[in-house]
Structure formats: structure tokens, C-alpha cells
């Protein structure tokens, strides 16, 4: 039987990347796309997965912010106009 190596594995997270994620992810001021821009070598899915593994949680949206896209921050009214 042929043995396969995991070639899809990305680079390990650096201490600096992990700390930046710890600082930004729980903040209501940063939407996921802004965090991704600060971590250019990481996909949104990789960011969410790492945050989950670190036990980080986003704040529960308030009534004011409901209807906003969690990725871009656009309201449903902005998206339709």
C-alpha cells in the first residue's frame, strides 16, 4: 500500500500571528476580512479554525448589529442598494 504525505498542510502559526489573532478576533471593531488582511497568508477558514482551537469567541451580536454580514460588515440594506 502506498503511503501519502499530507501535502496540503500549511505553515505553522507564528507566535506573532497567534498573538495578533488573540488581540483582534474577540474585538467587535474587527470584522473577519480586516483580520484576514492583517494575516495575509491565512484564509478566513484557517483564521476561524485557529480561533476555535484557541477557544476564542466573537461577541454575541446586539440588536443594533443584527442583519450585518459577519465577513464584510455590510447591512442587508447596503447590500441591496
In the chain, where are the structural domains located?
15-80
Using the predicted structure, report yes or no on whether residue 7 has a pLDDT greater than 50.
Answer: no
Tell me: the pLDDT tens digits for 23-36?
A: 998 886 778 888 98
Q: Name which residue leads in pLDDT, 1 or 60.
A: 60
Residue 42 is given by DSSP the state S
* Residues whose CB is less than 8 angstroms from the CB of residue 54 and which lie 6 or more positions away in sequence, other chains included: 18, 21, 22
Give this prediction's pTM. Answer: 0.60
pLDDT band with cut points at 50, 70 and 90 for residue 73:
low
Amino acid at each position: 500500500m502506498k503511503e501519502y504525505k499530507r501535502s496540503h498542510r500549511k505553515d505553522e502559526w507564528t507566535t506573532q500571528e497567534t498573538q495578533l489573532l488573540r488581540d483582534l478576533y474577540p474585538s467587535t471593531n474587527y470584522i473577519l476580512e480586516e483580520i484576514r488582511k492583517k494575516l495575509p497568508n491565512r484564509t478566513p477558514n484557517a483564521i476561524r479554525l485557529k480561533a476555535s482551537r484557541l477557544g476564542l469567541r466573537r461577541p454575541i451580536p446586539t440588536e443594533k448589529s443584527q442583519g450585518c454580514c459577519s465577513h464584510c460588515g455590510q447591512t442587508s440594506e447596503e447590500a441591496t442598494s
